[in-house]
Structure 1
């Protein structure tokens, strides 16, 4: 689970011929100009948004009509390529450095802390780029996962901090426990996930579970390993146990993981979720559904809608292997 990361770098390329500059970027880097919204929504940590502007401009102004280029390279590597390629640019200016912070709890309390602790000024994303300069930090706050590209609509707040971004990042990293305490006064939840597979295909099932937990950023896996479960008196079965620290609702996690038990009519494993030592029954999340199969189908659809494309492909590839090993099982 990530709470803090860098955003893309903002590079403003000044040229006497904007059209030639844009054509140069397209030809050399094999990229096309995008709207600012689309470029941001596709960008990831430490990539580069390059704006080609007239040479007479000095201020880092975000012109939404002009568009931008998303370069999937670090800023220093991008600038190296420009220098070595004798690019048709007269000057380069940098915008404020971006840091993205994820707050799982009370956003307003987080805003109050940020303003006071960092002497930060609340703004919007666009105004923050326009008002900030290379030596400033633009802090963006969200409650969504940040281990993937972040949509502009998912931002809850933006702040300009007149401090170097490295100093701000290091300070924020140290302040995270305080921020979590202030925004999550009830604390974190500890849940236990147990996997049981009658066909003993634990390697694939464990891989599927960890893939989903990581891609959806559902919490911190603090321990995992083998354990024993006792479904009935005098009956002992071996299970794989994963302990998770999370701020998510345990019922929500139970629902999503129900989507891993089945794919269509194929059952891969039993996945039980325990909160405060008590097993969460599937009936506690099935009020809208007439059967366990309907519940699993709905959970599967929602789970896949949240997964990244890469994670979804990996999940399907693992499950293809499971289906090859599938032994005849009773239907639901």
Structure 2
């Protein structure tokens, strides 16, 4: 539900006999996107490969913001297989892997997280951009962001500080994942996790569809951790029970922030109210009225505004996914 560590894109340095021919092959045959590394980094995630080509791999591969690189939405092994199978390996003189960044998502005091990691590993704090542009760096690099790791992250999304550690990246990545919560909690200082309960209500009983929408948002915005789920009953009207699906949720966000997001899920594209998502912190129910801008606004008005804000946080593919589920919800009412 909340990812704390992931790898950056893969970086490959290709020494070629013919720079022009190599570039033409990458762009024409492999459909690579060419731009500077600053722009490319903002368009990639761990599923991408970025290639830098040179005519002399022994020269320092310290590039600038304007140095051209080539981005492909494919794994490194897939790219190399294509080069060999398409009989273009004659263009390649030698290959070298550039360091792959490890990205740690933080909350709170980043300095405390950095020093907590440095207690476990010998390393040094460096400027991110100076480190990022050095493709010859032999060490592992840990970078930090306060953005959800499911997103593509450019240099502007990362903290100015990074840690350089002389430890194999594979083992470091595994250990970081194991100890991620410990490091994260070091930085929280007096901030605590919030335990909230999310209750789903729908008189048409399309709970499985509302659950899918809810989980999609919780996962894609990386809002926290699900601790448990259960069915129960609520008595909204005297002697009339209503089914309720409850989710216990741990989050570092204020419960009101969670409620505001879920209000945006209570209506469909045509402003039809399709369910209720009640949020409780302790025994207190957070009211939609807290988000009304004036006394004339009704719940649907507030939900419409919250939906617009929510959709700005989601990717186009997530928005399409949500709208498709909403169509299923409306069909279930027919």
Give yes or no for TM over 0.5. Answer: yes
Q: Work out which of the residue numbers 206, 211, 219 in structure 2 matches 1:206.
A: 211
RMSD: 2.1
1:74 corresponds in structure 2 to 75
Give CA-to-partner distance per residue, 1:80-116, whole Å, 9 cap, x none.
Answer: 3333333312111221121111112222211222344
Give CA-to-partner distance per residue, 1:244-297, whole Å, 9 cap, x none.
Answer: 111111100100100000134301101101112321111223347851333212
Between the aligned partners of 1:312 and 1:37, the Cα distance in structure 2 is 27
Between the aligned partners of 1:142 and 1:133, the Cα distance in structure 2 is 23
Q: Work out which of the residue numbers 266, 269, 278 in structure 1 matches 2:275.
A: 269
Q: Work out which of the residue numbers 110, 118, 122 in structure 1 matches 2:121.
A: 118
Matched, 1:102 2:105: yes
Matched, 1:219 2:220: no
2:253 corresponds in structure 1 to 248
Matched, 1:91 2:98: no
Go from structure 1 to structure 2 and tell me whether the alpha carbon gap of 1:137 and 1:299 turns closer, same or farther (over 3 Å shift): same
Gaps of 5+ in 2: none
Go from structure 1 to structure 2 and tell me whether the alpha carbon gap of 1:30 and 1:163 turns closer, same or farther (over 3 Å shift): same
Contact 1:193 1:271 in 2 (8 A): yes
Go from structure 1 to structure 2 and tell me whether the alpha carbon gap of 1:174 and 1:206 turns closer, same or farther (over 3 Å shift): closer
TM-score (norm 1): 0.90
Contact 1:60 1:129 in 2 (8 A): no
Equivalent positions of 1:229-244 (< 5 A) are 229-231=234-236, 234-244=239-249
1:330 corresponds in structure 2 to none
Give CA-to-partner distance per residue, 1:112-155, whole Å, 9 cap, x none.
Answer: 22344323322333321344646421211001100231132111
Matched, 1:318 2:318: no
By how many angstroms is 1:37 displaced?
Answer: 2.4
1:191 corresponds in structure 2 to 196
Between the aligned partners of 2:47 and 2:8, the Cα distance in structure 1 is 6
Contact 1:60 1:95 in 2 (8 A): no
Go from structure 1 to structure 2 and tell me whether the alpha carbon gap of 1:56 and 1:153 turns closer, same or farther (over 3 Å shift): closer
By how many angstroms is 1:187 displaced?
Answer: 3.0
By how many angstroms is 1:234 displaced?
Answer: 4.4
Contact 2:14 2:57 in 1 (8 A): no
Between the aligned partners of 1:134 and 1:211, the Cα distance in structure 2 is 38
Give CA-to-partner distance per residue, 1:148-207, whole Å, 9 cap, x none.
Answer: 311321112322212110121122123223212211244321111111111222221111
Go from structure 1 to structure 2 and tell me whether the alpha carbon gap of 1:219 and 1:289 turns closer, same or farther (over 3 Å shift): farther
Matched, 1:146 2:179: no
TM-score (norm 2): 0.90
Gaps of 5+ in 1: 328-332
Go from structure 1 to structure 2 and tell me whether the alpha carbon gap of 1:138 and 1:60 turns closer, same or farther (over 3 Å shift): farther
Contact 1:191 1:250 in 2 (8 A): yes
By how many angstroms is 1:305 displaced?
Answer: 0.7
